[in-house]
Amino acid sequence: MFSASVSLADLQKNLINKLTAIKTLSFDFKQKISDKEEIGNCFIKYPLLMKCNYQNLKQKTIISNGKTVAVIKKKYKKIYYYPIKLTPLFFILKKEKIINLIRKNQPTEINAGLIEFEFIDQKTNKVKILFDKNSLEFKGWKTKDVYSNNVSFTINNLKINNQIVDDFFKIPKEEDL
């Protein structure tokens, strides 16, 4: 029993140290909502900045500028805006929230390849944060969308601390699409 708690404390400390050192992430992703899969690439700059480009017919892009999440569909020249605080991305893009979750909680699951932590906010939104068990790298998240569909977001080809300028996360105007 004692050795398990020591290794859990080490795991938490190592995860926190790894996360603390991260300023930016860039990666390829696979997103699954219900039975529909989409792929693309993403860039995150802490805190709260994100841009994900989907490889699909709608030419979808999701951008967080720190206050607003914009879902852009270039094909239809439409932008949909959401306050970031009302989305699960607020938790995912605020590194301190993930660090506090790890510091104050034990993993909800550890299996052969993944470590999972679960966060539930006041509105009972659930976000499961996934880390690679061996490298302790961020591997993705699971949540539900506004329509209660299961959303799984898997990270591949992760690159850490590449330089990304803040202007990269600027939300365009609809007339510029």
Q: What is the pLDDT of residues 26-38, one digit of tens each?
A: 999 999 998 899 9
Residue 56 in domain = no
Give the per-residue SS3 of the chain: CHHHHHHHHHHHHHHHHHHHCCCEEEEEEEEEECCEEEEEEEEEECCCEEEEEECCCCCEEEEEECCEEEEEEHHHCEEEEEEHHHCCHHHHCCHHHHHHHHHHCCCCEECCCEEEEEEECCCCCEEEEEEECCCCCEEEEEEECCCCCEEEEEEEEEEECCCCCHHHHCCCCHHHC
Asked, for residue 38, whether it belongs to a domain, the answer is yes
Q: Find the domain containing 39 and state its range.
A: 2-48+93-169
Q: So what's the pLDDT on residue 57? A: 80
pLDDT digits (tens, 9 = 90+) for 21-78: 999 999 999 999 988 999 999 999 999 999 999 998 888 999 999 999 999 999 899 9
pLDDT of 4 reads: 52
* Average pLDDT of the residues in 163-174: 94
The answer to whether residue 116 is domain-embedded is: yes
pLDDT at residue number 1: 41
- Average pLDDT value for the chain: 91
Number of structural domains the chain divides into: 1
The answer to whether position 111 is within a domain reads yes
147 assigned to some structural domain: yes
- Domain annotation covers residue 30: yes
Q: What is the pLDDT of residues 78-95, one digit of tens each?
A: 999 999 988 888 989 999
User: Does 62 reside within a domain?
Assistant: no
In a domain, 77, yes or no: no
Residue 100: give its domain's CATH number: 2.50.20.10
